[in-house]
Structure 1
């Protein structure tokens, strides 16, 4: 079985330096492709500064995952550690929400149309969601402890901004990845002028 391979563009090979939060913010562009070189959509890409992150974490999207057309929407939601996620039911049928994941084990009983239930996620990691009534429903909440996180688009690309030059831990997660926990981890350096990176991820 072929394992995950990673390819880093030459502009990403600068020697790591200590993170200095007084430096001018920069950015990192990451592309995820599969073994055939095809873009991987909805992969979660995270950059954790080696020096740690102590500030607030806010994302542009709302911490909410709807139940619509017998599906979780969006299928994967990124939230900061400690966030309370709303689960509005937009269908005409009742739904429940449950998870047996290590990061969060819980069960929300059946509730109806235009009703909302919430759940707080106190631990980082991946939370796989299901509905007791509709077995085909699958959703994922990815709980992170960094503000530098996002999902890849249809071209397998994500642009992370606002970090300062320095050394980071990169984590790529996808539910179909052939890696322990669906994660691929690498050390990564972000330069003062930004950097571009390309990773190949083996998928099931």
Structure 2
């Protein structure tokens, strides 16, 4: 686990501790496409009542460039996260986004730009490279520290407190550039946990 992911896991754990980690229940979220097939690498976020919508100051993440590809293809961050764009290739890249959630333009460079890009509004930013047309990726910005990406079976496991929450998800195969939402009810006293399926349109 990288340092950013480790910090995120610690933050989420601390948050659940503040709202009653002893009551947190294991919850399986399944994300499927319109055809019913499970979707790997879907961004999943759960908004809990009373949680901080913005990341603590100084929170950082990384969208790398290796072998003329963005890595990862989908990066999920909390609103207020600063993202670095290190270039590990021997060729220069020109990274940009024209998405309303964040518009920026990193001119041709190698190494790591001096300043990261601050993602201060929730939504989805599509990335590209002006030099290499086949390069593309997405940064999904969410108003919660509780987020993850689905595995090869389209699943993610989270520990959630009882209550009424909002489950939000998005996958690059979706036509619309926003997260799909549905209510998520976690009952009190359900020690065995539960599961929810969200089918993306």
CA distance in 2 between counterparts of 1:66 and 1:54 reads 27
Query: What is the aligned residue count?
Result: 176
Structure 2 residue 170 is the aligned partner of structure 1 residue 176: no
How far apart are residue 182 of structure 1 and its match? 4.5
Structure 2 residue 28 is the aligned partner of structure 1 residue 29: yes
CA contact (8 A) 1:27 1:190 kept: no
2:88 corresponding residue in structure 1: 90
Do the aligned partners of residues 55 and 72 (structure 1) sit closer, same or farther apart at CA in structure 2, a change above 3 Å counting?
closer
**Higher helix fraction: Structure 1 or Structure 2?**
2
1:146-185 matches, cutoff 5 A: 146-161=144-159, 163-178=160-175, 180-185=176-181
Structure 2 residue 198 is the aligned partner of structure 1 residue 199: yes
Return the TM-score normalized by structure 1.
0.78
1:1-204 matches, cutoff 5 A: 21-22=19-20, 24-49=23-48, 51-54=49-52, 57=55, 63-112=61-110, 115-117=111-113, 118-161=116-159, 163-178=160-175, 180-192=176-188, 193=190, 194-202=193-201
- Is there any run of 5+ residues in structure 2 with no aligned partner, and where? 1-17
RMSD: 2.3
Return the TM-score normalized by structure 2.
0.79
CA contact (8 A) 2:77 2:142 kept: yes
Structure 1, residues 8-30: CA drift from partner, whole Å, max 9, x if none? xxxxxxxxxxxx92462223211
- Is there any run of 5+ residues in structure 1 with no aligned partner, and where? 1-19
Structure 1, residues 55-109: CA drift from partner, whole Å, max 9, x if none? 8758xxx711110111100001111111111111111110011101111011011
